Amino acid sequence: MPRRTMVEAIRDAMDVMMARDDRVVVFGEDVGYFGGVFRCTEGLQRKYGPTRCFDTPISESGIVGVAVGMAAYGLRPVAEIQFADYMYPGYDQIVSEAARLRYRSAGEFTAPIVVRMPCGGGIFGGQTHSQSPEALFTHVCGLKTVIPSNPYDAKGLLIAAIEEDDPVIFLEPKRIYNGPFDGHHDRPVVPWSRHPLSETPDGYYTVPLGQAALRREGSAVTVLAYGTMVHVAEAAAAETGVDAEIIDLRTLVPLDVDAIERSVRKTGRCVILHEATRTSGFGAELSAQVQERCFYHLEAPIARVTGWDTPYPHAQEWDYFPGPDRVARALQSVLEGG
């Protein structure tokens, strides 16, 4: 089985879909000739020509706006926002237009677009290259929100997203583009080639939206995580010896509540992880869901380990990032509780 990095897997997903479906077009800032600042579209313009993969002006409202118009025409646009942090000028087009077009036109017009955007920190990007805005999308009805944690899922989920008939926000944790990252920033970088989930079949396959994956089976506590934090959770479980059951949500909307419910009913404890700020973060929704569905099975209060409610700092990056030590403390404290 070929091994791919996240970048290669994401690029391969677009390549596979551009070859299968000539309605698929890929565009964004620097994605054409140059292949994107993270190289996710490298070679696609050369292979498919400049009307299938092209550079756009620096205008997120324009990028998403033309994508909506192209989708209404019948194309399958895959738009890249260079950093999730730059998404805000395009947010109105996502929220007021793409997300609601099917509903408001009673299905006459739809917006099957994928908006890809690198998210998260860990690269010393400061406040404008590190944000995790997933909750700003999960709060919007009409959108699906996906965030993969490994190359296998990234390729399968992106292909599924391109085939979706509804708009999909595809968040790509940039710190794990070129290797898994468990939060130990002081240790040498690990390449994807040593990770089993870098094995990605060639050609077409999908990972269906709305299905979580069990990353580690355990009985003591359920850990709900996505993106980079899945790797942090695995490290924390290994280092503490806590028998944690780690669920990688993969898709935030629609959410796999069955997987969550099954696990928490079994373990009776739940720790929720995300890199984004805490207040009104997606963890709040997860916590509410767990409480509503599993209250009588809980042995301890639900814990959240998240980024602090501050802008993403530069020098203090590792004080901000919810690394394995903070996760380990939460695991232990939830086990002591009840």
Partner 1 sequence: MTTEWQSLSLHVPGPPVRPGDRPDFSQMQIPRAGEVRRPPVDVAASDIHDLAYSVVRVLNRQGEAVGPWVPALDVDALKLGLRAMMKTRAFDVRMMMAQRQGKTSFYMQCTGEEAIACGFQTALGTGDMNFPTYRQQGLLIAQDWPLVDLMNQIFSNQADRLRGRQLPVLYSAREAGFFSVSGNLGTQYVQAVGWAMASAIRGDTRVAAGWIGEGSTAESDFHSALVFASVYRPPVILNVVNNQWAISSNQAVAGGESATFAARAHGYGIPSLRADGNDYLAVRAVADWAVERARRNLGPTLIEWVTYRVGPHSSSDDPSRYRPKEESDAWPLGDPIERLKKHLIVLGAWSEERHTQLQAEIEDEVLAAAREAERHGTLHDGPRPSAADMFRGVYKDMPRHLREQRQEMGV
For the annotated catalytic residues, the residue numbers are 129
Stretch that binds partner 1, among 12-20, 145-153, 253-261, 310-318 (CB under 8 A): 253-261
> Strands, DSSP E only, in the chain?
24-28, 53-55, 76-80, 114-119, 144-146, 168-173, 213-216, 221-225, 244-248, 251-253, 270-277, 303-307
Structural contact between residues 142 and 93, judged by C-beta atoms closer than 8 angstroms: no
User: Which is nearer to partner 1, 109 or 124 (by Cβ)?
Assistant: 109
Stretch that binds partner 1, among 95-103, 121-129, 261-269, 299-307 (CB under 8 A): 95-103
User: Which is nearer to partner 1, 63 or 176 (by Cβ)?
Assistant: 63
User: Which is nearer to partner 1, 103 or 124 (by Cβ)?
Assistant: 103
Sheet holding 213-216, edge to edge: 213-216, 244-248, 221-225, 270-277, 303-307
> 6-20 and 151-163 are packed helices; what angle lies between their axes, rounded to 10 degrees?
30
Q: In whole angstroms, how close is the CB of 159 to partner 1 at the nearest point?
A: 17
Lookup: tokens for 82: 């260079």
Q: In whole angstroms, how close is the CB of 222 to partner 1 at the nearest point?
A: 20
- Cis omega before residue 254 (within 30°)? yes
DSSP structural state of residue 194: G
Q: Which residues on neighbouring strands pair with residue 246, listed in sequence order? A: 216, 223
Q: In whole angstroms, how close is the CB of 30 to partner 1 at the nearest point?
A: 14
Q: In the range 176-215, which residues lie near partner 1 by CB under 8 A?
A: 210
- Does 295 bind partner 1 (CB under 8 A)? Our answer is no
**Strand 144-146 relative to strand 168-173: parallel, antiparallel, unpaired?**
parallel
Q: Is 235 helix (H, G, I), strand (E, B) or coil?
A: helix
User: Which is nearer to partner 1, 57 or 196 (by Cβ)?
Assistant: 57
Q: In whole angstroms, how close is the CB of 90 to partner 1 at the nearest point?
A: 9
Q: In the range 144-183, which residues lie near partner 1 by CB under 8 A?
A: 144, 165-166
Stretch that binds partner 1, among 37-45, 69-77, 241-249, 259-267 (CB under 8 A): 69-77
User: Which is nearer to partner 1, 147 or 331 (by Cβ)?
Assistant: 147
Q: How far apart are CA 142 and CA 144, in angstroms?
A: 7
Q: In the range 28-57, which residues lie near partner 1 by CB under 8 A?
A: 51-52, 56-57
The contact set with partner 1 (CB under 8 A) reads: 25, 51-52, 56-57, 59, 61-62, 65-70, 72-75, 89, 92-93, 96-97, 101-110, 141-142, 144, 165-166, 210, 253-255, 257
